[in-house]
C-alpha cells in the first residue's frame, strides 16, 4: 500500500514574493547585526569543530582513490538531497510524492548536517517572504557577504525552528521527530564512511565532503545575490550564475528561481544546466513523484525578451 501525501500544494504566493514583481531593484541600506544574532558559541561548536577536523584530517590522512571517490560521491549525493528535498520539495512544494518518499527525502537531506527539515524549510520560506528586506535572515546587501554566507547559521536569533512558516509539513509526526533528531542521519553516515574506508573514509568521505557541501550550498545565499546576471526584474538582488549552477546541481539559476520559485525546474531554458531537475524528471517518469511544477509559458516568454544570463 502506498501512503500518499494528500495535502494540496500551497500556492507560491503563500511564502514568496508576488509573481509579478516591480521592475526596480530597491535601494538597500546596511542593517547592522544585533548582538543576539551572532552570539551562540556553544551551539556553534560542532560547526566549527567540523571545519577544524576536516582541515587537520586532510593534512594528516593522505587521500586515497577510495577516499577521494567517497568524497565526490558523498558531496554530490547530499547536495542533491538539499536541492531536491529541503529546497524544491519541502520549502516550495514544487512536486508531490508519497508519504514514504517524503520521509526518505527528509532523511536523505538531513545527512548533510544542515539541521532539520522543518528548520531548513521554514527559514527558507521566511527568506523568500523578506528577500533583501530588513527581515531577511541572510541578505548580503543588508548584513554583508560573510554573515549571509555562514554568520546567520551561528546566530541565536535563527536557532528556533519557525513552525509557523512550515505548518503544512509540521503536521507529519515523523517529520517533527526527524527535525528534533536531525543529527541521526549524519552520524550514521559518518560511521558508514569509517566502515567503508577507515580513517580515510571518515576524513575524506565524511568530514571534507561535509564542509565542502556546506560552503557549496551556502554560496546561493551569498554569492548568487552578488555575482551574475539578472534576467528577471525581481524585487531582490538575486542573480543567475552558470558556475554556481554547476557547483550546486542547478541552484545557481537563482534569479529564475526568485521570479517563479514554485517551479521544480530552476534552469528555465535548455542551455541552463539543472541536474536536480533531471533527477526529478526521472523520478516523475518512474512514478515516484508527480504534479511537477514547471515555469508557465508567460514566464518563459518574459525571459526570452531579456538578455541571456550566465
DSSP conformational letter for 161:
-
The DSSP H or E segment spanning 96 is strand 96-97
49 falls within a domain:
yes
175 falls within a domain:
yes
pLDDT at 308: 54
pLDDT at 123: 95
Q: What mean pLDDT do residues 14-23 have?
A: 41
The fraction of the chain above a pLDDT of 70, given in percent, is 85
Total domain count for the chain?
Answer: 1
Is residue 4 pLDDT above 80, yes or no? Answer: no
Q: What is the pTM of this model?
A: 0.88
| Residues 198-228 pLDDT 10s | 999 999 999 999 999 999 999 999 999 999 9
CA atoms within 13 A on the CB side of 239: 19
| Average pLDDT along the chain | 87
257 falls within a domain:
no
| Residues 135-175 pLDDT 10s | 888 889 888 899 899 889 888 888 899 999 999 999 999 99
Q: How confident is the model at residue 11 (pLDDT cuts 50, 70, 90)?
A: very low
CA-wise closest residue to 113 among 42, 210, 195, 48: 210
122 falls within a domain:
yes
Do residues 264 and 93 lie in contact, with contact meaning Cβ atoms separated by under 8 Å? no
Is residue 17 pLDDT above 60, yes or no? Answer: no
88 falls within a domain:
yes
279 falls within a domain:
no
Q: Is pLDDT larger for residue 29 or for residue 7?
A: 29
Could you tell me the residue range of the domain that residue 86 belongs to? 35-228
23 falls within a domain:
no
Q: Report the alpha-carbon distance of residue 102 to residue 284 in Å, rounded.
A: 14
Is residue 80 pLDDT above 90, yes or no? Answer: yes
> Three cell numbers at 6?
494528500
77 falls within a domain:
yes
pLDDT at 51: 94
Amino acid at each position: 500500500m502506498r501512503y500518499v501525501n494528500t495535502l494540496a500544494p500551497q500556492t507560491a504566493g503563500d511564502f514568496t514574493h508576488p509573481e509579478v514583481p516591480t521592475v526596480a531593484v530597491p535601494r538597500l541600506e546596511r542593517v547592522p547585526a544585533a548582538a543576539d544574532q551572532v552570539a551562540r558559541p556553544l551551539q556553534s561548536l560542532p560547526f566549527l569543530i567540523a571545519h577544524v577536523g576536516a582541515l587537520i584530517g586532510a593534512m594528516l590522512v593522505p587521500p586515497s582513490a577510495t577516499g577521494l571517490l567517497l568524497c565526490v560521491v558523498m558531496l554530490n549525493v547530499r547536495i542533491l538531497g538539499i536541492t531536491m528535498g529541503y529546497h524544491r520539495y519541502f520549502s516550495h512544494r514544487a512536486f508531490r510524492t508519497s508519504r514514504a518518499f517524503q520521509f526518505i527525502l527528509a532523511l536523505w537531506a538531513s545527512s548533510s548536517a544542515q539541521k532539520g527539515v522543518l528548520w531548513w524549510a521554514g527559514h527558507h520560506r521566511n527568506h523568500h517572504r523578506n528577500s533583501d528586506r530588513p527581515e531577511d535572515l541572510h541578505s548580503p546587501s543588508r548584513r554583508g557577504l560573510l554573515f549571509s554566507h555562514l554568520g546567520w547559521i551561528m546566530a541565536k536569533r535563527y536557532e528556533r525552528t519557525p513552525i509557523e512558516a512550515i505548518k503544512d509539513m509540521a503536521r507529519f509526526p515523523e517529520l517533527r521527530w526527524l527535525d528534533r533528531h536531525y543529527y541521526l542521519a549524519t552520524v550514521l553516515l559518518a560511521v558508514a564512511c569509517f566502515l567503508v574506508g577507515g580513517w580515510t573514509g571518515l576524513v575524506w568521505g565524511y568530514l571534507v565532503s561535509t564542509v565542502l557541501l556546506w560552503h557549496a550550498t551556502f554560496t546561493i545565499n551569498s554569492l548568487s545575490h552578488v555575482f551574475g546576471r539578472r534576467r528577471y526584474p525581481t524585487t531582490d538582488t538575486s542573480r543567475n550564475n552558470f558556475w554556481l549552477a554547476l557547483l550546486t546541481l542547478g541552484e545557481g539559476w537563482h534569479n529564475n528561481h526568485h521570479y517563479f520559485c514554485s517551479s521544480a525546474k530552476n534552469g528555465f531554458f535548455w542551455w541552463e544546466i539543472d541536474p536536480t531537475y533531471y533527477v526529478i524528471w526521472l523520478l516523475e517518469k518512474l512514478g515516484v513523484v508527480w504534479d511537477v511544477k514547471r515555469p508557465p509559458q508567460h514566464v518563459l516568454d518574459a525571459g526570452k525578451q531579456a538578455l541571456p544570463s550566465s
